[in-house]
Amino acid sequence: MVPEVRWDVKWNGSVETDPINNTRILERHLPSPSCSCPGKNADIISSVEAKMRTFTMKRRAEEHEKQQIRDSTGFAGVLISPPNSPLQYPSHGVTVEPLKTTLLPGLAVHTQEGGKVFKVSLHASHGVMAVQGAPQEQGVRGQNQSVLDISATSLAHLNELLAQVTYCSTAYHLHMEDLVHFSFEDHEVVFPVTVKRSSIPVLYDLGEDINSQVTIAVKTFLRYKELRTLIESIRVKYPHIRIIIADDSKEPEKVEGHNIYQYIMPPAQGWFAGRNLAISQVTTKYFLWVDDDFLFLNETSIEKFVEIMEAVPKLDVLGGSVGGDRFYFTLEHQEGAEGEGGCLSRRRNKRHGPLPGFKDSFFGSFIKRTGVKDCVLVDGVVNYFLARTDAVRKVGFDPMLQRTAHSEFFMDGLGRLLVASCKGLVIGHQKPQSNPQYKKFRNPGRGETTNKLRLHYFKNHLKCVAY
């Protein structure tokens, strides 16, 4: 078996040769430099007790290494296409099922006929290759091996054999990348083969109306008066839509009504634990998240959310505005130096750009009809949003965060959730009521803020965070 290609970590603008197995090493960028958070920031290593820092840093490094292994697809380099190569090959898009034999499409050599023997070689790190239907072919060596050599006295015959080359992975993986080296004379190219287990679609039936498309989810704690006011306002426009309530009040009160499902939790479990519980019970494609002191207005429209989400299938979360406050932000993340951790900055009212397609014919008529406009891509939105149920479940809400949490969900979802915010998707906010018991729990102490930073340090592998 050919040893696996080892990856160099230095950058010198060239392709090098591995002295052990004489294979070409692809370029890889230098490790990330040390980073810092601009402006007001928290250097979060200080959130870890001094006597525990060395031990915590060691455990974090070990866990980070395991996470990288789990997320790795087996390919960490940059493929550079050679200039003027006579080799034809699939530079992208070859996907195979693990342990199943599949043709490698597009392999060929384009050169001058010269009355010579044409020889090519292919080798892979995590699979075996063969020429389909030619087990006795004299010019084929290495059938069902990691190195396959093919020779022919004519270019046409060589290309006929190359058109029948198959690949089969040697181990079962859910998702990984293999690199196949293809060489002829002094020319060599490398192309990726994605080994990926196919998945079964999980679809949601939208049905015929908003009641089968969206579930309203809310977390409540000690605010039953506000909660009942919210429900009354919902029922004015949506008398049949399902409402799920996660309730961790110390002395729960029964909230009754048509299509209302109240789930009682142990006392004071926190906002994110309640969110997880509520979302776990959603059976519709989308859920609308609202706080228990929000208020549906005449212009509040769930249908507007759904129209946009259905028009942009890749969109995962769409935020609106609460009482005129259209809170949104972007996140800037730097990986940072190995061992130190990354740096994360939240930039309020910053955007990545307009929502793709927002100016096409659909949105042109949609804007005129609904008044919704200025839909932009961001990383986080206000507490009033419509989301794809399956996408949010994959990220989840960390129950370690009880009171000082909202942006943290979008931090965990960075790179996994496509988020947007639109002007014109509105909901009201009830006037604050005097509730000393609620305020006692609502305002976190210094210890809880420290716990959040400590969680960022370990779980998110951060060195500093700037809000």
Please check the confidence at residue 141 and state whether its pLDDT lies above 80: yes
Domains, the chain, in order of start with CATH, read: 87-196 (2.60.40), 210-466 (3.90.550.10)
Please check the confidence at residue 28 and state whether its pLDDT lies above 70: no
Quickly state the pLDDT bin for 26 (edges 50, 70, 90).
very low
Please check the confidence at residue 403 and state whether its pLDDT lies above 80: no
Check residue 22 and give its pLDDT: 36
- Of 40-49, 56-65, 309-318, 439-448, the one with minimum mean pLDDT is 439-448
Burial label for 451, CB within 10 Å (0-12, 13-18, 19+), is middle
Residue-wise pLDDT for 277-329, tens only, equals: 999 999 999 999 999 999 999 999 999 999 999 988 999 999 999 999 999 99
Report the C-alpha gap between 456 and 181 in whole angstroms: 41
Report the C-alpha gap between 245 and 260 in whole angstroms: 8
- Spell out the residues 6+ positions from residue 149 whose beta carbon is closer than 8 angstroms to its own: 119, 120, 121, 140, 141, 142
Report the C-alpha gap between 215 and 409 in whole angstroms: 20
DSSP-derived 3-state class of residue 132: coil
Of the two residues 298 and 365, the one the predictor is more confident about is: 298
- Of 184-198, 332-346, 434-448, the one with minimum mean pLDDT is 434-448
Report the C-alpha gap between 206 and 211 in whole angstroms: 9
Residue-wise pLDDT for 3-19, tens only, equals: 333 323 332 333 333 43
Residue-wise pLDDT for 50-88, tens only, equals: 888 888 888 888 888 877 776 666 666 677 777 788 999
Q: How far apart are the first and last CA of the chain?
A: 52
